[in-house]
């Protein structure tokens, strides 16, 4: 079985990505998230033996080595990694608190970096030419009140991805970022309709970003069709300025 790891596959964009990979049929999906609810069962029914869920809290950076050695490695050869899982700590800078900031960096930056480490080692061991895709955020490219700290985690992962591409491109390992615009997801559930409309007005199409566009871009970057694309970020943001 050729496997793609998708973090945060239990809901939202992550579930949509996992579902499209399974429907496309080339790869199996290893989903990693904290919860195993009805959403995960839906994917299991769709994918059967082509879908495996691992319950794991990505705040636990130190346990990722064991996660790889004891579970991921035993499942088979890894051909791709979609770093989708994220946690948002939204507030203005003058209210910054260390504990939630550190939690956000552990989930959004340190764990994806450690998972990338073991994914690359697996690809080298098996002589796999694979693809790594990080889900970033438009907040790393344009300012939003209250998102400076969250945006800094996405900026960090974009810099990490670019340098990963440079380090390992000669071995056929690609690394890219998909940069979605504003979507209606669990992270935006607390916003009012008025707040959402103000955000939509900042993009050229004056509407929310279609999740399907984001998902198909991820699948494109995982596929051989994008074999010459690495070290970049693709904006799927309705022309946000």
Q: Which residues are identified as catalytic?
A: 150
Planar angle of CA 139, 21, 163, nearest 5 degrees = 45
Give dist(CA 124, CA 137) in Å, integer: 29
Other CB atoms within 10 Å distance of the CB of residue 220: 16
* Residue 195 CA from chain centroid, whole number: 25
Sheet strands side by side (includes 233-236): 51-55, 28-33, 2-7, 77-83, 131-135, 174-180, 233-236
The residues pairing with 33 across neighbouring beta strands, listed in sequence order, are 55
The residues pairing with 55 across neighbouring beta strands, listed in sequence order, are 33
Give dist(CA 177, CA 102) in Å, integer: 23
């Amino acid at each position: 079985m050729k496997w793609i790891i998708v973090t945060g596959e239990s809901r939202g964009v992550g579930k949509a990505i996992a579902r499209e990979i399974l429907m496309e049929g080339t790869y199996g999906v290893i989903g990693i998230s904290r919860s195993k609810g009805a959403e995960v069962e839906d994917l299991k029914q769709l994918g059967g033996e082509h879908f495996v869920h691992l319950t794991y809290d990505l705040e636990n950076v130190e346990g990722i080595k064991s996660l790889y050695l004891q579970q991921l490695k035993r499942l088979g050869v890894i051909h791709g990694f979609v770093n989708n899982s994220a946690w948002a700590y939204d507030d203005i800078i003058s209210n910054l608190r260390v504990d939630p900031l550190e939690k956000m960096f552990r989930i959004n930056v340190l764990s994806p970096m450690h998972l990338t480490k073991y994914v690359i080692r697996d690809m080298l061991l098996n002589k796999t030419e694979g693809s790594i895709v990080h889900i970033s955020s438009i907040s790393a490219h344009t300012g939003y009140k209250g998102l400076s700290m969250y945006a800094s985690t996405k900026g960090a992962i974009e810099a990490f991805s670019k340098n990963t591409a440079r380090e390992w491109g000669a071995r056929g390992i690609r690394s890219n970022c998909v940069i979605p615009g504003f979507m209606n997801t669990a992270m935006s559930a607390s916003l009012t309709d008025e707040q959402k409309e103000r955000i939509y007005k900042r993009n050229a199409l004056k509407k929310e970003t279609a999740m399907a566009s984001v998902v198909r871009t991820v699948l494109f970057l995982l596929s051989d069709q994008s074999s010459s694309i690495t070290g970049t970020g693709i904006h799927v943001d309705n022309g946000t300025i």
